[in-house]
Amino acid sequence: MLNQNPKFDLMFQALADPTRRAMIDRLSRGPASVSELAKPFDMSLPAVVQHLQALEASGLVSSQKVGRVRTCKIEPEALSQAEQWLNERRTLWVNRLDRLGEYLAATADEEEGK
Amino acid sequence: MLNQNPKFDLMFQALADPTRRAMIDRLSRGPASVSELAKPFDMSLPAVVQHLQALEASGLVSSQKVGRVRTCKIEPEALSQAEQWLNERRTLWVNRLDRLGEYLAATADEEEGK
DNA sequence: ATTTTGGTTAAGCATGGAATTAAGTAACAA
DNA sequence: TTGTTACTTAATTCCATGCTTAACCAAAAT
């Protein structure tokens, strides 16, 4: 299916939960089955699967089932899209600050040299 | 107060809402008052202020009141922290993929040369 | 002094999210 | 073939979120 347009609502929503961030953290170290993913959490399996669904719906994680085990992995492109959204806004702001700094410096120079 | 520890729950929660992302987008172009921020939205002022509170609680935005107008601005450090969280996990995964690629390549070479 | 502007507080409502338990299915193992 | 493993589905509960209106307050303008 390879849907490429970023679903920021779902992505950031998915990232807002500590359980789901822990899952991403785990998956960043390599693929895992559902029950492997569930092991660290004091939580029913259906609860874990619901978190997983949130992660998949957002595109941050994908999975495929072989036999009876579903293996999950990170989708780095999606992570990257969220990253970029933040980066663009931040650099816009920071560059604006820089230009303001230059302007103030220039103005000060003029004052000095007048 | 200058609290420096990242509140990822609140940050990503704040980012999950399109109205709040639009506000950050607006603020990336420069500071704004509450009513300036509210203008683009078809929404009551209290609703906008509640969004703003979510943004401030997360640390992504700060504001200060002078006279009766409250001026809001982006906190680039907070943006950066969220960005880094994503980046660290993504690069971990990608590097792992690279090493796996190298391993497979090396194995193929051995096969070839045996 | 009165009105307008810019924002705040509070109460209430509707929807959605995180968890549970219980029951079901399908693959693999003995 | 019978049991165990690895999930899946469904129903339910409970709390959080996003929004509304109404009433309020204090600074600025007239």
Helix (H, G, I), strand (E, B) or coil at B3: coil
Chain B residue numbers touching A27 (CB-CB < 8 A)? 93
Q: Which of B28, B73, B97 has the most A C-beta neighbours within 10 Å, making it the best mutation to test the interface with A?
A: B28
Residue B14 in any domain: the answer is: yes
- Confirm whether B13 is domain-assigned: yes
Overall average pLDDT of the A18-23 stretch: 97
Q: Please state the domain count of chain B.
A: 1
Q: Does A67 touch chain B (CB under 8 A)?
A: no
> What is the distance between the alpha carbons of residues A63 and B104, in angstroms, rounded to a whole number?
22
B3 domain residue, yes or no: no
| Structure tokens given for A9 | 């609502």
Q: Looking at the domain assignment, is residue B89 inside a domain?
A: yes
Task: Give A77's contacts (C-beta < 8 A, 6+ positions apart).
Answer: A4
Answer whether A90 sits within 8 Å of B76, measured CB to CB.
yes
What average pLDDT does chain A have? Answer: 88
Q: Is the pLDDT score of A97 beyond 90?
A: no
The answer to whether A99 faces chain B, any CB pair under 8 Å, is no
**What tokens appear for A43 in the block?**
């939580």
B103 contacts chain A (CB < 8 A): no
Q: How much is the pLDDT for B113?
A: 37
DSSP string over A34-83: HHHHHTTSSS-HHHHHHHHHHHHHHTSEEEEEETTEEEEEE-HHHHHHHH
Question: In the structure, what pLDDT confidence band is assigned to residue A6 with cuts at 50, 70 and 90?
Answer: confident
* Cα distances (angstroms) measured from residue A26 to each of A87, B93, B105: 24, 10, 26
pLDDT of residue B35: 96
- Tens digit of each residue's pLDDT (9 = 90 or more) over A41-68: 999 999 999 999 999 999 999 999 999 9
- A20 assigned to some structural domain: yes
In the complex, which nucleotide's C1' lies nearest to the CA atom of residue B42?
D19
Q: Which CATH number does the domain housing residue A15 bear?
A: 1.10.10.10
Whether nucleic acid strand C comes within 7 Å of the CB of A100, the answer is: no
Interface of A with B in 37-66 (CB under 8 A): none
Q: What is the pLDDT at residue B111?
A: 46
Judged against a pLDDT cut of 70, whether residue A101 lies above it is answered with no
Size of interface A-B (CB pairs under 8 A): 89
Find the Å distance, CA of residue A95 to C1' of nucleotide C11: 43
pLDDT tops 90 at residue B23: yes
The torsion angles phi and psi of B69, rounded to 5 degrees, stand at: -105, 135
Does residue A49 lie within 7 Å of nucleic acid chain D, judged by its CB? yes
* Residue A1 included in any domain: no
C-alpha–C-alpha distance, residues A38 and A42, integer Å: 8
Provide the residue range defining the domain that includes A28: 8-113
pLDDT over 80 at B114, yes or no: no
**Position A3 in a domain:** no
pLDDT for res B5: 79
Residue A2 inside a domain? The answer is no
CA count, 13 A, side-chain hemisphere, A15: 28
- Please report, as a single letter, which amino acid is at residue A16: A
Tell me the per-residue pLDDT of B82-102, one tens digit each, with 9 for 90 and over.
Answer: 999 999 999 999 988 667 665
How confident is the model over B37-49, as a mean pLDDT? 96
